[in-house]
Amino acid sequence: MAEITLKAATGRELGNGPARRLRAAGQIPGVVYGLGAEPIPVAVDWRPLREALTTEAGLNALIDLDIDGDVALTIVKELQRHPIRGDVLHIDFLRVSADAAITVDVPVVLEGEAKAVESENGVVDHVLVTLAISAKPADIPNEITVDISGLTIGDAIRVGDLSLPAGVTSEVDADDPVVTASFGEVAEVEETEGAEGEGAEGEPAAEGAGDAAEAAGGDEG
C-alpha cells in the first residue's frame, strides 16, 4: 500500500469558534494520537486531505503526517461529518508502527454474476459489507473480493470461506455470513397471505366493536 504525505500544522486554538474559522479558511481541525504519545491538536488543508482519502485505499490509506517537520506514520481513525451537508468537521489521526499489526475495517466487494440464482428469480443478499481485519500497515488490503458466480439458491459464503491475503487475519466468527442466496419472492408471498388473513380475522373484531358501541349508546339513552 502506497504512503501519502500530508502536512499538519500545530498550535491551533481549541473550541467550536476557532474550529469554524479554520473550516471557513479551508482547513480541517484534527488531533494526532497513539503509540503512547500525547495527543496533538492539528489542522490540515482540506484539498490535500481529500486527495489522500480518495485513493483506492480510502480511509485506510497510510499517511506520512508531517507535523511541523516531524513525520509520523498514521491512518485515519475517525472522520466526523456534518449530519446533513456531509462536510468533514474533524479528523482523528492514529500513529501506527510499520512493524505492528492494527485492526481496521476493509470493504467487502462482490464480483461475478450469480446466474444460477438469477435464473430462479432469487436474490443475492450482501450481508457483510466490511470486514474487521488485523494486519501490519503495509499489508492492509484495499478491499476483500468475493466471487459469487458459483452461488445457487440456499447457498451462503461465510467469513471462513474468504481467501485473505498473506499477513491478514480476522477475528470475526468464521460462521458469520458474508453473502446469501435465497428465493426473493417467498417473503412477499408470506406477507401477502398474512395481510389477507389479518383482514379476514379483523372483520369480526370490527363488528364486535360496533356492537359494543351500540350497547354503550343504548345505556346512555
Tens digit of pLDDT for each residue in 64-97? 999 988 899 999 988 888 788 878 889 999 999 9
Tell me the average pLDDT across 154-178: 94
Question: What does the block give as the cell for 135?
Answer: 494486519
Task: Write the pLDDT tens digit of every residue in 87-134.
Answer: 888 999 999 999 999 999 999 999 999 999 998 898 999 999 999 999
Phi/psi at 67 (5° precision): -95, 90
For 103-183, which CATH class? Answer: mainly beta
Instruction: Name the CATH topology of 3-96.
Output: Ribosomal Protein L25; Chain P (2.40.240)
pTM for the model stands at: 0.70
For the segment 37-52, what is each residue's pLDDT rounded down to a tens digit?
A: 889 999 999 888 888 8
Q: Boundaries of CATH 2.170.120.20 in the chain?
A: 103-183
Chain centroid, CA 46 distance in Å = 22
Q: Are 180 and 154 in contact (CB under 8 A)?
A: no
Q: Please, where in the chain does CATH 2.40.240.10 lie?
A: 3-96
* 45 touches 39 (CB < 8 A): no
Whether residue 24 has pLDDT greater than 90: no
- Find which of 17-31, 144-158, 174-188 is predicted with most confidence, using mean pLDDT: 144-158
